Amino acid sequence: MINGLAALGRSTLKQLAGLGRAFMILIQAVLRPWGPGASPRLLWPEIYSAGVLSLVIVAVSGLFIGMVLALQGYSILVDFGSEQSLGQLVSLTLLRELGPVVTALLFAGRAGSAMTAEIGLMKTTEQLASLSMLGVDPVQRVVAPRFWAGVISMPLLAIVFSAMGIWGGHLVGVDWLGVDAGAFWGNMQASVDFRIDVVNGLIKAFVFGIFVTWIAVYQGMDLIPTAEGISRATTRTVVYGSLAVLALDFFLTAMMFGDY
Amino acid sequence: MSTRALEVAVGGFVATGLALLAWLAISVSGLDFSPSQDEYKVSARFSNIAGLKPRAKVTSAGVTVGRVDSIRLDPQDGQAIVTLAIRGEFDQFPLDTSASILTAGLLGEKYIGLRMGADFDYLIEGDEIEDTQSSLVLEDLIGRFLLNSQGD
Amino acid sequence: MSIEIQIENLHFARGNRAIFRGIDMTLQAGKVSGIMGPSGTGKTTLLRLISGQLSPSQGRVLVDGVDVHQQSKSGLMELRKQMGMLFQSGALFTDMSVLENVMFPLQVHTDLSASMIRSVALLKLEAVGLRGAADLRPDELSGGMARRVALARSVALDPAIMLYDEPFVGQDPISMGALLRLIQELNSALGITSVIVSHDLNETFRVCDEVFILSQGQVIAGGPSEQVQNSDDERVKQFIHGLPDGPVPFHFPAPSLEQDLQAVSRD
């Protein structure tokens, strides 16, 4: 009994210590991202790695999801004679929800796990220890550029996703299913508000970017430096990152769209 | 990857994102950049606006002539004061124009329809539309129908 | 000019396992000192304690009279500029070429011009015999070559102290010879205080002026190489002569054999 309690206490302390370390890494990356051996120029290769290399999967996914939304939406709306509202349905669903959320999930899986693996490998091969021996803060050189790359790339990727999705919705709705183009775009424009829908979607993407990237870099820094440790850490990045996105989405949606 | 190619790729990524954002702003959300001096505001009082929202369209004969700018409640007589922003090019609405709250289609949203009157003076900034028709509330309609059918 | 390292009453534990239980050592200025012991005694940990990457629970490490763990971040940075460390795996930065790896410490810590930095880096590579490999990437190098490049990188700033973490592990005889020669040259030519952590007996005794042997968290022998090699201490003798059984037992603690076999047959 006492052993159980002691184990629980130890485990809790361990979790708290982990959370503390994660927080310290975040503060350092945000407040002091540059230093000796760590210049802002390190950001560009990381934006390429996190953002540009994710473009294809995000764009293609967005296209397909937009097309599916139009298909499903049409089949439901046509029963009410309201297929004119298809543009509205597709664009609002994408801008407010699917754009930021699905992009973040894809990002966690593709870019997030890559970051965790890279940092973890550098830890395992003692490159991080070498950096500190050479007087360079590994958080500044390795973590900060990746963190900022994630925060900048996520909203951009979410925009690409939503735009591709709306285009996909148009392709299916207007070109294939025959919804009137004027009605499609006209109703859309009338019901999509820039501030409420587009900007809020961007804010969501920005918040998701912060959390997913934070989890990814922390898992990389904190893992057990073995091959198995890296594998487990990348899995945690994807799982925790995805769960965080979904939970945050609920809270953000409630705050933003709760009171009509 | 050479630094130059890298910078081009990253720059292209950011530029594409911003361009698509602009497209979303204009073509999808219909963000309007026309200066607001191009509009003039008139008000109208309704006893029930049920479901009318700001930015709802204001039409005349089915043509969109403006937007609902804001909706306020007059605490003294419990009426809703709706401010309409009408585009400057439509400056020939007679003083006795009527405004009704209508529904667009079965699931449609509420909007304001203007019907022109016959006065020689036109509405200008700050005027009030006197002849208004409030939103039809389903319960009232049913109530009236029942009342009428009982009378037969 | 040479720097002495003094370790006083050092205690360190990982979790509830005590790694060091009061270690005292003087690593003399300008000499090559070896630290040896059975695997798991925490030799690498000791190097990390000296360089300030880990903190002791008790005791201190003095480098040139300065307490390593009482330093501020910038003070520690200054101290580290004087120390070069050769990691077991070389630990070259995989996103840079060989030359860029060697230039890195110079770029971070000096204001020299780019061409000057390049020249110094090439000279360091020349000293380890790998100037021709300057444009290769770390994954194109053999283990021995990677370690020599890492050595060139660690001496780029002409440190006064060099820490070697298991430098002889997994080396073929030729690379081994090359490495030994380099260590000796650095020490004799530049008066660098060298600390080698290893469990390779021959090489360590060959190159070190003084040797310390650790076992179970304590120093069980320390002195000039000759002296330690001829020591009468049972534990030292077991280590040096590679006797499989002695003070460090062959058998991991277990219940009697009969008990285990009976348990098996009962299933």
Task: Look at residue C265 in the predicted model and tell me its pLDDT.
Answer: 65
Report how far apart, in Å, the C-alpha atoms of A238 and of each of A88, A105, A142, A213, A242 are. Answer: 32, 8, 20, 11, 6
- Find chain A residues with C-beta within 8 A of C48's C-beta: 129
Neighbours of B141 (CB within 10 A): 10
Among the partner-chain residues B6, B7, B13, the one whose CB lies closest to the CB of A55 is B13
Selecting from A125, A127, A134 the residue whose C-beta is nearest the C-beta of C108 gives A134
- Provide the CB-side half-sphere exposure for A38 (13 A, CA): 21
What is the percent of chain A where pLDDT is above 90? 68
CB pairs A-C closer than 8 Å: 43
Q: What band does B37 get if pLDDT is binned at 50, 70 and 90? A: low
Contact B6/A48, CB-based, under 8 Å? yes
Neighbours of C256 (CB within 10 A): 8
Place of tokens 């709802």: B56
For residue C72, give both structure tokens. Answer: 């501020």
Q: Touching B: which chains, 3+ CB pairs < 8 A?
A: A
A158-168 pLDDT, tens per residue? 999 999 999 99
Q: Could you give the dihedral angle defined by the CA atoms of residues A81, A86, A88 and A90, in that order, rounded to the nearest 10 degrees?
A: 150
Q: Is the pLDDT of residue A78 over 70?
A: yes
Nearest to B57 among A47, A163, A190 (CB): A190
The shortest CB-CB distance from C81 to any of A125, A129, A135 is to: A135
Q: What is the mean pLDDT of residues A37-66?
A: 93
C74 in A contact zone (CB under 8 Å): no
Beta bridge partners of A189: none
- Best A134, A137, A146 member to test C by mutation, with max C CBs in 10 Å, is A134
- CA nearest neighbour of A32 among A143, A121, A154: A143
pLDDT score of B152 = 52
Can you read off the two tokens belonging to residue C194? Answer: 């060298």
Q: Which of residues 45-84 of B touch A (CB under 8 A)?
A: 55, 57
Is A189:B29 a contact under the CB 8 Å cutoff?
Answer: yes
Sort out which chain B residues have CB atoms less than 8 A from A155's CB and list them. Answer: 17
Parts of chain C with a pLDDT under 70: 1, 40, 246-249, 264-267
Classify residue B21 by its DSSP letter: H
**Residue B111, pLDDT above cutoff 50:** yes
Residues linked to residue C86 through DSSP beta bridges, in sequence order: C164
Q: Give the per-residue pLDDT at B31.
A: 65
CA angle, B1 then B6 then B9, to 5°: 130
Backbone angles phi, psi at C32, to 5 degrees: -100, 120
Q: Which of A122, A127, A135 sits opposite C77 (nearest CB)?
A: A135
Kindly state the DSSP code that residue A53 receives in the 8-state scheme: G
Q: What is the pLDDT of residues A93-149, one digit of tens each?
A: 999 999 999 999 999 999 999 999 999 999 999 899 889 888 888 999 999 999 999
Put simply, whether C13 touches A (Cβ < 8 Å) is no
**Chain center to CA of A220:** 17
Question: Which residues of C fall within a CB distance of 8 Å from A127?
Answer: 91-94
* Res. B85: pLDDT tops 90: no
Predicted pLDDT of residue A53: 94
pLDDT score, position A260: 42
Classify B135 in phi/psi space as left (phi over 0), alpha (psi -120 to 50) or beta. beta
User: How many CB atoms are located within 10 Å of the residue C155 CB?
Assistant: 21
CB contact under 8 A, B10 and A80: no
pLDDT of C6: 85
> Could you give the ipTM of this predicted complex?
0.80
**Segment among A70-74, A238-242, C231-235 with least mean pLDDT:** C231-235
Name the residue among C83, C92, C108 with its Cβ closest to that of A136: C108
Name the token pair of A118.
Answer: 């890279």
- Which of the pair, A57 or C237, is modelled with greater confidence? A57
Question: Are the Cβ atoms of B1 and A91 closer than 8 angstroms?
Answer: no
Pairwise CB contact (< 8 Å): A127 & C94: yes
Q: Which of B3, B24, B106 sits opposite A162 (nearest CB)?
A: B24
All partners of chain A with 3 or more CB pairs under 8 angstroms: B, C
A85 secondary structure, DSSP code: G
Q: For A40-54, B50-64, B75-89, which range has the lowest pLDDT when averaged over its residues?
A: B50-64
Q: Which residues contact C253 (CB under 8 A, 6 or more apart)?
A: none
| Shortest alpha-carbon distance between residue A136 and chain C (Å) | 8
Amino acid sitting at position A52: V
Beta-carbon contacts of residue B134 (< 8 Å; ≥ 6 apart): B46, B47, B48, B49, B50, B101
A41 in C contact zone (CB under 8 Å) = no
Searching chain A, which residue's CA lies closest to the CA of residue C74?
Answer: A135
3-class secondary structure for chain C?
A: CCCCEEEEEEEEEECCEEEEEEEEEEECCCCEEEEECCCCCCHHHHHHHHCCCCCCCEEEEEECCEEHHHCCHHHHHHHHHCEEEECCCCCCCCCCCHHHHHHHHHHHHCCCCHHHHHHHHHHHHHHCCCHHHCCCCHHHCCHHHHHHHHHHHHCCCCCCEEEEECCCCCCCHHHHHHHHHHHHHHHHHHCCEEEEEECCHHHHHHHCCEEEEEECCEEEEEEEHHHHHCCCCHHHHHHHHCCCCCCCCCCCCCCCHHHHHHHHHHC
> pLDDT digit string (tens) for A20-37?
999 999 999 999 888 888
Question: How far does chain A reach from its first CA to its final CA, in angstroms?
Answer: 52
Q: Which residue has the tokens 């206490």?
A: A9
Report the C-alpha gap between C57 and A88 in whole angstroms. Answer: 65
* Rounded (5°) CA angle B22-B23-B24: 90
Chain A residues near residue C92 by CB distance under 8 angstroms:
127
B7 touches chain A (CB under 8 A): yes
Is B24's CB within 8 Å of A185's CB? no
Is the C-alpha dihedral spanning C125, C130, C131, C133 positive or negative?
negative
Which long-range contacts link A41-47 to residues 24+ away (Cβ below 8 Å)? A42/A141, A42/A144, A42/A145, A43/A145, A43/A148, A43/A149, A44/B3, A44/B6, A44/B7, A44/B10, A45/A145, A45/B1, A45/B6, A46/A145, A46/A146, A46/A148, A46/A149, A47/A149, A47/A152, A47/A153, A47/B10, A47/B13, A47/B14
Using alpha carbons only, how large is chain B's radius of gyration in Å? Answer: 22
Summarised one tens digit per residue, pLDDT across range B61-84 is: 888 888 888 888 888 888 889 998
The reported pLDDT for the residue numbered C57 is 85
Quote the CA–CA distance of A184 and C116 in Å, as a whole number.
65
* Per-residue pLDDT at A134: 86
* Model pLDDT for residues C72-105, shown as the tens digit of each residue: 878 888 888 888 899 888 889 998 999 999 999 9
- Angle between helix A227-257 and A200-222 (nearest 10): 160
Tell me the C-alpha distance between A133 and A120, whole Å. 18
Whether the CB of C92 is below 8 Å from some CB of chain A: the reply is yes
The whole-angstrom distance between A95's CA and the closest CA on chain B is 9
Lowest mean pLDDT among A103-107, A240-244, B51-55, C54-58: B51-55
Closest residue in A to C107 (Cα–Cα): A37
Q: What is the pLDDT of residue C248?
A: 67
Query: Cβ–Cβ of B17/A157 closer than 8 Å?
Result: yes
**A51/B10 CB distance under 8 A:** yes
For residues C72, C76, C78, C80, the Cα torsion angle rounded to the nearest 10 degrees is: 180
Chain A residue with CA closest to B12: the answer is A52
